[in-house]
Structure 1
């Protein structure tokens, strides 16, 4: 689950309530949406509406903040904290749409608007959290909190806003505040530049094949998809492969042309690391000293210490402690996997050493030999619509939710689909959009986000508007979209985030849903993945797209036996990226910084084998340079410790749909959002702190 620059900025701003704004009657953002369920008026929103709405939204919020400051009454929770929470309605409305469009339907014009908006948002954020008079009011309330009759959610809102001020530089003197503003402004533009370069590099490479013999080994469905891509690119009669995962991964898994596997894989691995206008090395070299300076202005020794202070982990040392416990068994298993593949190469008469671009190809051969299981054997059973019905079935069994398709709602892209989500009593819980397939305007990867947060206004719950965005294998010809198992897991993962966002029942939007510590936010998503491979679930949704035949028991058994296959690689490439992320931001020796040298030094020190590259290399590590996850990429494995332990709570009952356990998870985790400390929420559900052993066992590392 990734967040872009604007989302990261807004995370520090209390922009949660919608109020009626005046202004241009032609601009849909200047009034409440007159749409079913108040979803964004995508059918009326035009590109030229964004910038005026941002400017007016900032103007309105500044007026609302000024009103709080000018209030001569003694500061109270209601006239200060709640007033801040309820400020910025128009800004919230336009940001909720724009930040998603920049990710899923970007254009050069949208990117130009983002360039204009980023410094405006940065300044607005600083104007709020560097406002000395406003901070003084908040501080008075915070100092008195022990004497105030605040409920738990009010306490958390007060604590969050107070910390936002401190972390936003409110305690700095005037000269340091001026520099703090300057640093934030520069970072906003640099992080935006990083994302733009990454998008350009993603779209800039195409492997064009004009000789059918070069397609040897590829499944017919992948060949057909490449032909359709070529047709779309006006190269009829050829085959085009791109760096999007549904195109890249099948190619490097099945192509028998080693030189072509190397070509496309290395293009992927060197994105934004080429001698052209989209090289991100100079951008990184500018970002890191600024983040360090920002942290040190606030009294932290490194940016890693600053960022982690607001998480479950708290310190880099605690993160390293977790990573180190997993690294040793993971790299040991990875070396065993290398030996198996090198043996396969020798068996086939190969005279070369396994390289990083060979891993997918030979690991698939080893899987087939060891377990008589080929990923392509599974694909016919994973028709996208059937997998979607599977996740809906899971939600109904666990929480009583139902999903009704609604084709009348306005959409930001014609390919998106939408659903009314209803709770166990039949009341509207949320609106859910799903956007499945790659397009040039969409960044790679998968994520879940909100167009509107859940909250309670005047005693009435405002239903959230949630969106799941993926880049799955497209339908080809008369064949539907057939997913590989990794894509199946991804849909379950993002749906877990959606369940968190949709089922929250809190008063304040800034504490709702996924507004929790970064290393806790992945718990609901990752626990959801567990159901995907359970035999009881597979028999519900894994049906052959032609015959309707349920996936055979022997195929399920093969999946089960191969469950820990390739986990040395999967774990090691992920951990390598986590170490890289943490090291980049924990480093304080940044003069003349060279990202490539730092990356090599870090990986050599770890003992990363040459056959494996970090899952994300520095120049395309969008999570940590403008994605909101700086020093936070470890959080997936941190949350996996939680989710492996949490899923055991279901397994221990003998029923993966145990109602009592599901209700406890719903009431103690999903519904609570960020209203309590993350570990307190977990212990309320599990009755104890998590144990790392279930994770190690599940990955075959113990």
Structure 2
């Protein structure tokens, strides 16, 4: 059943029919099927052409890709011990298959034969990009290596795949293993009622009196932001900071060292100076020197502002509570207090205007105004959990654009954070434009017995961010699956997501969805002005924090080195960006999943890089009007629909008419002058 085209509405995944024991045999069968498809290409007696080699290769393994996306998406959103065990079993099979292709000499010979005559072929831009991508897919993955080195590469890749899985499982286990159980209500002074109610219902579900707080963001963040009891804030903050850094069975220190070591070995084997040199060859930034220079240039501009802000925050804490030294567990608390003092604005004041359903409908309305698509909730598409909502996305003629899944609340077996993913890509085959199935997964404040899900403003921008990624996937319109949707350079992929966040600050957009959940009153204008004013509040400190993560990432990956002590290494990397005193028992590297489990190694800088792109892009919208059809159409036609069919800078220039300017970001962040 998992190996065939699904006999379901829009060929959607039949989640309720899948049994865990189906996965491994299905992987074995679809891998065999994909191998047979590749063998057909290799054994073709005709001269290699773009159509019989490059195109066929891109469309091969369709059933395996579909199965992998279903399985690994659920392993992030709805996992269990048994599923994690299957992941450990099938990951080596997938790595071996991937290596079987990228190290296959006969296949590479055919690809190279086509690549060598590319100047004589009449190819579209998309076809030329695909040819280049396929050739590099081989050369960057060992096709030019000796047999002995190919074997070494296989061993490295297999070990890395397992290490990354283990790393992620350890972080999830440490997140799930901690709870702060409070029985004295006085300890919760300052905490909003909604969060308190959520903590009480969690305690009740575990058969306990009182309140339970966890390291899941909707529980953790309000606690460190509002609870007056400094010792309790310290306790939960230290618990969050020492995930997988506790010398227990879930410790990730050795995994970090080994992942870094293997990544460098792999890069060296392929002829690159370091892992960063390997990764950045396929990014807009091109090399680690350019990344360091970009991060340090921003740091130079942000640091004076960050130090000034930190001094103001320290003085404020001293004046308010006699605190001499601000610690990490004080940051969110005093920032929120200072924000309230300066702007008389806090999340609790704003949340009633951000009922989840209204915010989601607001995102839909904005997408309709900009790109001419509408969202219709449907109840006859299978889903993997009751919380998930399903939508058909239709164009103005009522034709299907995409299937959209939305999964908003935390639960056991779902990893922290927020992400967009896809269960089926878009592509054109045999004259049929196959439409994508796209999903966003978040961990928002859930509804309680007395209140609907009311979002913090940060959660509102997160929803718009992930929705921006989703639009990139949904509006894709390319021929080849490997170039479709979000299949773009990593430092370009955040542009559609980050640019969408800008609408959350615009009165014209907020009027569409920011309505009081009880009275229906539109958010007052003075709140909107304060949201805009407070957007750059402590922006210097926030920028410095992001830059510190980017610099840590590059420190690990831009040169080959032996790391004796993960904590000492991290401390040295953070030296130029530290504002708070170090907490000895905490270490970020052991739970920095973006770079050690996800795909952001040597790429964390791309958040800031994309901010430059998004600030510059939105400046264009502001210039012409935030719902201007001409600008929106240019963005849709040159960015959202084009995927990875051309170099990102070329696509950006077609949309904007020029390269992006860093000044747009500095101006928006209040860091100019």
Partner Cα distance (1:455, 1:613) in 2? 49
**Take 2:101 and 2:583, find their aligned partners in 1: how far apart are those partners?**
42
Structure 2 SS opposite 1:306: helix
Q: 1:313 aligns with which of 260, 264, 285?
A: 285
TM alignment of 1:88-487, pairs within 5 A = 88-235=61-208, 237-487=209-459
Partners of 2:434 and 2:28 lie apart in 1 by 26
Which of residues 508, 511, 530 is equivalent to 1:558? 530
Unaligned runs of 5+ residues in structure 1 are 1-27
TM-score where L is the length of structure 2: 0.98
Q: CA RMSD in A?
A: 1.4
Residues 149-204 of structure 1, C-alpha deviation per residue, up to 9 Å, x if partnerless? 11111111111111000111000011111111111111111111101101101111
1:593 shift after superposition: 3.1
User: Which deviates further from its counterpart, 200-209 or 345-354?
Assistant: 345-354
**1:651 aligns to 2:634 (yes or no):** no
CA contact (8 A) 2:242 2:587 kept: no
Structure 2 residue runs of 5 or longer lacking an equivalent are: none
Q: Which residue of 1 aligns with 2:667?
A: 697
Instruction: Specify the SS of the correspondent of 1:482.
Output: coil
Distance in 2 between the 1:202 and 1:329 partners?
A: 36
1:632 maps to 603
Deviations 1:554-600 (A, max 9, x none): 1111112222102122111111111101111113112x532111101
Give the Cα–Cα distance (whole angstroms) in 1 for the partners of residues 123 and 582 of structure 2.
52
**2: distance between equivalents of 1:322 and 1:72?**
50
Is 1:664 matched up with 2:634?
yes
Residue-pair matches, total = 671
* Structure 1 partner of 2:5: 32
Write the deviation string for residues 198-251 of structure 1: whole angstroms up to 9, x where unpaired: 11011111111011111111111111010011112221x210011111111111
Partner of 1:549: 521
Q: 1:223 to 1:687 in 2, by over 3 A?
A: same
Cα shift at 1:645? 0.3
Structure 1 match to 2:488: 516
Q: For the residues of structure 1 that align with 2:596 and 2:318, how far apart are their CA atoms?
A: 42
Secondary structure of 2:535's partner?
coil
1:42 and 2:15 are equivalent in the alignment: yes
Contact 1:399–1:424 (CA under 8 A) maintained in structure 2 = no
Q: Which shows bigger deviation, 105-114 or 367-376?
A: 367-376
Q: 1:462 to 1:481 in 2, by over 3 A?
A: same
The 3-state SS of whatever aligns with 2:18 is coil
State the SS of the aligned residue for 2:595. coil
| 1:528 equivalent in structure 2 | 500
Distance in 2 (CA, whole Å) between partners of 1:70 and 1:623 is: 40
1:571 maps to 2:543: yes
In structure 1, which of residues 675, 681, 690 is the aligned counterpart of residue 645 of structure 2? Answer: 675
Say whether the 8 Å CA contact 2:112–2:135 is kept in structure 1: yes
Q: CA deviation at 1:31?
A: 1.8
Counterpart Cα distance in 2 of 1:251 and 1:76: 61
Asked if 2 retains the 8 angstrom alpha-carbon contact of 1:454 and 1:509, the reply is yes
Q: 1:67 aligns with which of 27, 40, 49?
A: 40
8 Å contact from structure 1 (residues 423, 429) kept in 2: yes
CA distance in 2, matches of 1:305, 1:166: 15
2:465 aligns with one of 483, 486, 493: 493
**C-alpha distance in 2, partners of 1:251/1:263?**
11
Q: Deviations over 1:290-322 (max 9, x none)?
A: 110100011111001100111110101111111
Equivalent position SS for 2:17? coil
Alpha-carbon distance, 1:349 to partner: 4.2
TM-score, normalised to structure 1, is: 0.94
Q: Secondary structure of the residue that 1:65 maps to in structure 2?
A: helix
Whether the 8 Å contact between 1:399 and 1:662 is mirrored in structure 2 is yes
What CA distance in whole angstroms lies between the structure 1 residues aligned with 2:560 and 2:225?
40
Question: Is contact 2:548–2:577 with CA below 8 Å preserved after alignment?
Answer: no
Which deviates more, 332-341 or 223-232? Answer: 332-341
Q: State the distance in 2 between where 1:44 and 1:680 align.
A: 45
Is 1:621 matched with 2:577?
A: no
Deviation at residue 334 of structure 1 after TM alignment: 2.0
Tell me the SS of whatever aligns to 2:515.
coil
CA spacing shift, 1:94–1:490, aligned 2, 3 Å: same
- In the TM superposition, what is the alpha-carbon distance from 1:478 to its structure 2 partner? 2.1
* Local SS of the residue matching 1:50: helix
CA distance in 1, matches of 2:43, 2:640: 38
